[in-house]
């Protein structure tokens, strides 16, 4: 079975991961696509569950083997990518793929899969809210917060390239909007097939 793809992208701290986890708890037949990365594991993260953690040389080897649908160097020596084998695994299990990826990765997936994909951008209420959320995580260094904040305005500008937008000023409302968008896309697409 070739399923569909649901892509959630946003600046770091906008709430995309929280929304994706909410959708995974619903009966939409979604399965999370685990990205590959070269970044270090954070406390509590598990290889093969949160990410596939690769060395820089292993990641570059997989690039050469064309093992990725999309990949990018988000920050210097900090690579992220979607393995083709991950999408095939999820589809072979009869599920649709849901992604929690950065903005450029989301757009790359949207372009790679066209009509089979729904790309949703999660918009923070403001840059100040975004900073507060990043600081509230207590997983970021001051340097990483500044790096993420510096990148956010350019990411927000790309929101117009997504199929849908959710303003995350109320998590309850964001959950409802996300459910409606995903339900509608999966029903609409399945009627065409």
Mean pLDDT value across residues 27-39 = 94
pLDDT at 181: 97
pLDDT at 140: 82
CA quadruple 111, 155, 72, 32: dihedral sign: negative
Mean pLDDT value across residues 73-83 = 89
- Mean pLDDT, all residues of the chain: 92
Per DSSP (E only), the strands in 22-174 are 30-32, 36-37, 52-53, 68-75, 78-83, 96-101, 117-123, 164-167
The 8-class DSSP code of residue 47 comes to: B
In angstroms, what CA-CA distances link 9 with 34, 69, 92, 164? 14, 16, 25, 11
pLDDT digits (tens, 9 = 90+) for 92-122: 999 999 999 889 989 999 999 999 999 999 9
Which residues is 68 bridged to in the sheet? 83
Q: How far apart are CA 45 and CA 142, in angstroms?
A: 21
Domain locations along the chain: 5-192
Weakest mean pLDDT among 28-42, 43-57, 134-148: 134-148
Q: What is the CATH number of domain 5-192?
A: 3.40.50.300
Q: Is the pLDDT of residue 191 over 60?
A: no
Q: Is the pLDDT of residue 54 over 70?
A: yes
What confidence category does residue 193 fall into, taking pLDDT thresholds of 50, 70 and 90? very low
What confidence category does residue 74 fall into, taking pLDDT thresholds of 50, 70 and 90? confident
What confidence category does residue 60 fall into, taking pLDDT thresholds of 50, 70 and 90? very high
Mean pLDDT value across residues 155-176 = 96
pLDDT at 34: 94
């Amino acid at each position: 079975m070739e399923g569909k793809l649901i892509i959630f992208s946003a600046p770091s701290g906008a709430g995309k991961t929280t929304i994706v986890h909410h959708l995974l708890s619903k009966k939409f037949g979604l399965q999370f696509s685990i990205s590959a990365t070269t970044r270090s594991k954070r406390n509590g993260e598990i290889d093969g569950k949160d990410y596939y953690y690769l060395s820089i040389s292993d990641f570059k080897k997989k690039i050469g083997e064309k093992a990725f649908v999309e990949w990018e160097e988000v920050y210097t020596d900090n690579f992220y990518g979607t393995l083709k084998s991950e999408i095939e695994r999820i589809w072979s299990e009869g599920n649709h793929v849901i992604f929690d990826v950065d903005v450029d990765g989301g757009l790359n997936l949207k372009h790679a899969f066209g009509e089979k994909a729904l790309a949703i951008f999660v918009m923070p209420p403001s840059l100040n809210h975004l900073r507060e959320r990043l600081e509230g995580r207590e997983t970021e260094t001051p340097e990483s917060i500044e790096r993420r904040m510096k990148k956010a305005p350019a990411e927000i500008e790309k929101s117009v390239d997504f199929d849908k937008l959710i303003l995350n000023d109320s998590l309850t409302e964001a959950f409802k909007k996300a459910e409606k968008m995903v339900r509608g896309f999966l029903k609409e697409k399945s009627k065409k097939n």
